[in-house]
Amino acid sequence: MSTPRAAVIHDLSGFGRCSLTEVIPILSVMGVQCCPLPTAFLSTHTGGFEGFTFLDMTEELPRAAAHWRSLGLEFQAIYSGFLGSERQIGIVADFIRDFRGPDTLVVVDPVMGDDGKAYQTYTPAMCAGMGRLAELADVITPNLTEAAFLLGREYGDLLDGGRALHDEAALRRLAEELSLGGRRSVALTGAALAPGQTGAMCFDARTGRAEAVQAAFVAHPLHGTGDIFSSVLTGALMGGASLRDAAAQAVDFIHACALRTVAQGLSLREGVDFEPLLGRLVPR
């Protein structure tokens, strides 16, 4: 069987594990050839570091895409995450329209923010554009903050102002609502069915059903777990897993990485210490 290929459209942050420094090793170890289109080069990610450098790659993206088109490249998956400018939303949308074949899996992680707040480089116009881009996806992987942005709701009002935080039916309704009437699958991250747990609520557009996957919550704010989740999910889906099984693999892997990171007392802004555990993702 030939090695499946994915176009991965994320930033490259030199220090502080996230985006391409997670996406490439994870997909590679899962048997996927990664073709990166970096949206920006940063010295570090934007969460918890001051004074980071930011090189916007907007001009380069359409040029690289045009070259790939001239080569006749085909991708089994297109997976996008953190974007570097508002204009990149249209560029990524064009890329998806141009390169999507009948069997291409399109995963849009609508990276915009966390804990109710947008990331430092995200403007309201970028967040609105991310919602339009996510309409092209087969699968989206928002956290609860991004879910609120996508639905145009206040984060504080989501899940009944926190009262429905651990309410399975409310989380299921939220995932269904994000599916645009069942047209796309949703893996809603940070969904906890009870205190002391965390995981994802998955609405599968293929079955029309929503199911949760859970693991014990490691009570530390950890950076870059959303990108690990979406990367493992994408790799597992490309390997033929169901949405639920792909999400379960991602949640279990993050749990193991989080335990290892916290046990070592690593600085949380450095992201989770996932590299020594990559072997767990090798397909059996």
- Using CB under 6 A, list all residues that contact ligand PXL: 11, 13, 18-19, 42, 45-47, 82, 111, 119, 224, 226-227
Residue 213 φ then ψ, to 5°: -125, 140
- Closer of 123 and 207 to ligand PXL (Cβ): 123
- Closer of 44 and 214 to ligand PXL (Cβ): 44
Nearest to 159 by CA among 182, 143, 183, 140: 143
SS3 36: strand
- Closer of 33 and 120 to ligand PXL (Cβ): 120
8 Å CB contact between 243 and 229: no
Q: At its nearest, how many Å lie between ligand PXL and the CB of residue 84?
A: 9
8 Å CB contact between 230 and 81: yes
Helix axes 124-134 and 144-151, enclosed angle (nearest 10)? 90
Q: At its nearest, how many Å lie between ligand PXL and the CB of residue 62?
A: 21
Q: Checking phi first, is residue 30 left (phi over 0); if not, alpha (psi -120 to 50) or beta?
A: alpha
In whole angstroms, what is the distance from residue 63 CA to residue 2 CA?
27
Q: At its nearest, how many Å lie between ligand PXL and the CB of residue 17?
A: 9
- Closer of 42 and 213 to ligand PXL (Cβ): 42
Q: At its nearest, how many Å lie between ligand PXL and the CB of residue 264?
A: 20
Nearest to 249 by CA among 261, 262, 263, 237: 237
Neighbours of 127 (CB within 10 A): 19
- Closer of 28 and 121 to ligand PXL (Cβ): 121
- Closer of 17 and 172 to ligand PXL (Cβ): 17
**Sheet containing 139-140, strands listed edge to edge, beginning at the edge strand earlier in sequence:** 33-36, 5-9, 77-80, 105-108, 139-140, 185-189, 197-204, 209-216
- Closer of 82 and 149 to ligand PXL (Cβ): 82
Q: At its nearest, how many Å lie between ligand PXL and the CB of residue 54?
A: 8
Q: At its nearest, how many Å lie between ligand PXL and the CB of residue 87?
A: 17
The full DSSP string for 104-155 is -EEEE----EETTEE-TT--HHHHHHHHHHHTT-SEE---HHHHHHHHT--G
Q: At its nearest, how many Å lie between ligand PXL and the CB of residue 243?
A: 21
Nearest to 250 by CA among 231, 274, 271: 231
